[in-house]
Structure 1
Amino acid sequence: MTTASWIGADLPPIYRDGQEYFLLGHADRLYLVLNRCPHRGGPLKFGVVNGDDEIVCPLHHGVFKIAQLLAQPSTIRLDEQPGAAP
């Protein structure tokens, strides 16, 4: 069952290897995506997801397809670990 995409804007910053990420829920999966607009470097974490599965940058209103952001080598898909609590 696919649910609407969402951004974890209210979560504290998430850092990995010195770079800031944000949590993105998409197609019933969770991802860590670089918190940087590909166009001007703005904080995508504070953008909005539109009805076309795109994130709109809050600073310059650039539009980025979620599928393209997920295809970036820096994006991390979070998987459930065996034995983890449901």
Structure 2
Amino acid sequence: MSASWIGSGLPAIRRGGQDYFLLSHEDELYLVANSCPHRGGPLKFGFVNASGQIVCPLHGGAFAISQLIARPSTIRLREGPAGSVE
């Protein structure tokens, strides 16, 4: 299994009026809502801990990546025809 990482240094990603951040997990890329499920803090500026959870920078709450990517708002990025991303 490869390490998970957050694209915290990337420019803001907006889609449908919502802010997202790029997350790599198990060799897949996701756009995840940039809002802590607990207090709405910017998860983009958090970190992935040794247990594979994203830690919110606002209050230190830890959230399983598997739960975050299962949310309906999460978008899994897939390679499309000719290398395009869908």
Shorter-chain TM-score: which interval? over 0.9
CA displacement, residues 61-86 of structure 1 (integer Å, 9 cap, x when unaligned): 0010000000000000000012117x
**Correspondence for 1:6:** 5
**Correspondence for 1:84:** 83
SS at match of 1:83: helix
Query: Within 2, Cα distance between the matches of 1:76 and 1:51?
Result: 24
RMSD of aligned C-alpha atoms? 0.9
CA displacement, residues 10-64 of structure 1 (integer Å, 9 cap, x when unaligned): 0000001000000000000000000000000000000010111100000100010
**Correspondence for 2:26:** 27
SS at match of 1:32: strand
- 4+ runs deviating over 3 angstroms: none
Q: TM-score, normalised by structure 1?
A: 0.95
**Correspondence for 1:65:** 64
**Structure 1, unaligned stretches of length 5 or more?**
none
- What is the number of equivalent residue pairs in this alignment? 84
- Taking every aligned residue pair, what percent have the same amino acid on both sides? 65
**Farther-moved stretch of structure 1 (76-85 vs 64-73):** 76-85
**Residue 63 of structure 2 aligns to which amino acid in structure 1?**
F
